[in-house]
Amino acid sequence: MKAAIYSTYGSAEAIGIEDVEPPTINEPDRVLIRVHSASVNTLDCLYRKGYFPTRKDNGLTRPKNQILGIDVAGTIEAVGEDVRNFKVGDHVFGSCFGSHAEYVAPRENALCHMPKNMTYEEAAAIPCAAQTALQALRDVAQVRPGQKVLIYGASGGVGHFAVQLANYFGAEVTAVCGTSNLDWVKELGAQYVIDYTKEDFTDNGEKYDVILDAVGKRTFFSCLKSLTEEGLYITEHPFHPKYHPFQLMIGSLIGRKKAKIHFTKPNHGDLDFLRILVEKEKLKPTIEKCYPFEEIIKAHRHMESGRTKGKIVLKF
């Protein structure tokens, strides 16, 4: 099979498409998927660059796992003996490492049947980013109707899902993004929008129950005065080069205001929850551009520009 391989850490040019052996079902709870589409995430770029925190598990000097990708949508071609929820021919989407290849063999509990009203490309845009937003807002923040929630980086992959989900949970949503995306995030469900190129939200005197930094460009300290007395700051970018983890540890001891790092935990239950929302037209991914698999280097460059509207997707 063809796979996007990076044998050394570095720029997007470190990626090359090579012929490798396809994966096999070596554990009874796994399935073999023919990949039709996979998205590109910030985490892919961080692993490929070799940021130090990612090297702990992936090798200090060179990557152990040389195929990138964490989101997948495709067709099941074989199932392990313990698999009960899927059969050969099913259209599925979900999370697994190594999805930037023609075949991948994830565990059953990280997959879900595809929404009936979606293409493979749309389904591949959902898993990592939407689960991150869902778990941060529903599980970590426990967002309730009437709360004030601010999404920083509202036009990005995680951010545009967070706006829709916060609105679904009944929150009053303020979205922070660039000028060109203000009207769009309003359409997604934001009641208020702030153009970060013209205004710093921390200077407007407003207080928020939850601030979700979806792009890792703010710190807990910088958001303190914009949180209510028991407000919560959440980031899902602890590995971001501009992020300061010690501020989080120290800052979370200040008064009743809290700060949390959120690590996404892919699972079937949350994927199925998202599938239902999609089929009810309460949630929809936005794909800025779909690249042919052969143009994965261009897709990585696009992702690293920091100006992505929604998601970047690969099509096989």
pLDDT tens digit sequence for 16-58: 999 999 999 999 999 999 999 999 999 999 999 998 878 888 9
Cβ 82 vs Cβ 28: under 8 Å: yes
Q: What is the pLDDT of residue 258?
A: 84
122 plus 137 within the same structural domain: no
HEC secondary structure over 88-153: CCCEEEEECCCCCECEECCEHHHEEECCCCCCHHHHHCCHHHHHHHHHHHHHHCCCCCCCEEEEEC
190 plus 172 within the same structural domain: yes
At position 127, the amino acid (one-letter code) is P
Q: Calculate the alpha carbon distances from 116 to 57, 71, 260 in Å.
A: 37, 18, 35
Q: What is the pLDDT of residue 261?
A: 76
- The answer on pLDDT for 294 being more than 60 is yes
Would 277 be classed as within a structural domain? no
Cβ 231 vs Cβ 208: under 8 Å: yes
- The answer on pLDDT for 239 being more than 60 is no
The average confidence (pLDDT) of the chain is 92
Q: What is the pLDDT of residue 259?
A: 78
Q: What is the pLDDT of residue 241?
A: 46
Would 71 be classed as within a structural domain? yes
239 plus 138 within the same structural domain: yes
Q: What is the pLDDT of residue 250?
A: 54
Lowest mean pLDDT among 85-89, 130-134, 252-256: 252-256
Q: What is the pLDDT of residue 255?
A: 64
- The answer on pLDDT for 105 being more than 90 is yes
CATH number at residue 110: 3.90.180.10
Instruction: Give me the residues paired with residue 67 across strands.
Output: 5
Half-sphere exposure of 230 (CA within 13 A, CB side): 4
CA distance 70 to 150: 27
Would 268 be classed as within a structural domain? no
Half-sphere exposure of 112 (CA within 13 A, CB side): 24
Q: What is the pLDDT of residue 233?
A: 92
93 plus 139 within the same structural domain: no
Half-sphere exposure of 227 (CA within 13 A, CB side): 25
- The answer on pLDDT for 119 being more than 90 is yes
Cβ 4 vs Cβ 69: under 8 Å: yes
Q: What is the pLDDT of residue 253?
A: 56
Q: Give 214's pLDDT tier (boundaries 50, 70, 90).
A: very high
Lowest mean pLDDT among 153-167, 183-197, 252-266, 272-286: 252-266
Q: Which residues contact 80 (CB under 8 A, 6 or more apart)?
A: 25, 27, 28, 29, 30, 31, 108
Q: pTM to 2 decimals?
A: 0.93
Mean pLDDT for 91-99 is 96
- The answer on pLDDT for 251 being more than 80 is no
99 plus 145 within the same structural domain: no
Q: Residue 38 sits in which domain range? A: 2-126+285-315
Q: Give 93's pLDDT tier (boundaries 50, 70, 90).
A: very high
Instruction: Give me the residues paired with residue 316 across strands.
Output: none
- The answer on pLDDT for 301 being more than 90 is yes
Would 220 be classed as within a structural domain? yes
Q: Calculate the alpha carbon distances from 254 to 67, 204, 224, 242 in Å.
A: 42, 22, 9, 22
Adjacency order of strands within the sheet including 192-195: 192-195, 172-177, 148-152, 208-213, 227-235, 258-261
242 plus 295 within the same structural domain: no
Q: Select from 246, 261, 276 the last residue of a domain.
A: 261
The phi and psi torsions of 285 (rounded to 5 degrees) equal: -75, 150
Total tally of structural domains belonging to the chain: 2
- How would you classify residue 31: left for phi > 0, otherwise alpha for psi between -120 and 50, otherwise beta? beta
Give the helix/strand (H/E) hosting 84: none
- The answer on pLDDT for 218 being more than 90 is no
Would 309 be classed as within a structural domain? yes
168 plus 289 within the same structural domain: no
CATH number at residue 184: 3.40.50.720
Would 99 be classed as within a structural domain? yes
164 plus 103 within the same structural domain: no
309 plus 208 within the same structural domain: no
231 plus 198 within the same structural domain: yes
Which string of DSSP letters, residue by residue, matches 183-216?
HHHHHHT-SEEEETTT--GGGS---EEEEEESSS
Mean pLDDT for 297-311 is 93
Cβ 78 vs Cβ 106: under 8 Å: no
Angle 127-134/157-168 helices, nearest 10 degrees?
Answer: 40
Of 78, 105, 101, 103, the C-alpha closest to 90 is 78
Q: Give 248's pLDDT tier (boundaries 50, 70, 90).
A: low
Q: What is the pLDDT of residue 103?
A: 98
99 plus 148 within the same structural domain: no
306 plus 220 within the same structural domain: no
Q: What is the pLDDT of residue 306?
A: 79
Would 236 be classed as within a structural domain? yes
Q: What is the pLDDT of residue 34?
A: 98
Lowest mean pLDDT among 27-36, 181-190, 215-224: 215-224
Would 289 be classed as within a structural domain? yes
The tens digit of pLDDT for each residue in 2-18 reads 999 999 999 999 999 99
CA distance 261 to 242: 15
Q: Give 263's pLDDT tier (boundaries 50, 70, 90).
A: confident
Instruction: Give me the residues paired with residue 75 across strands.
Output: 34, 91
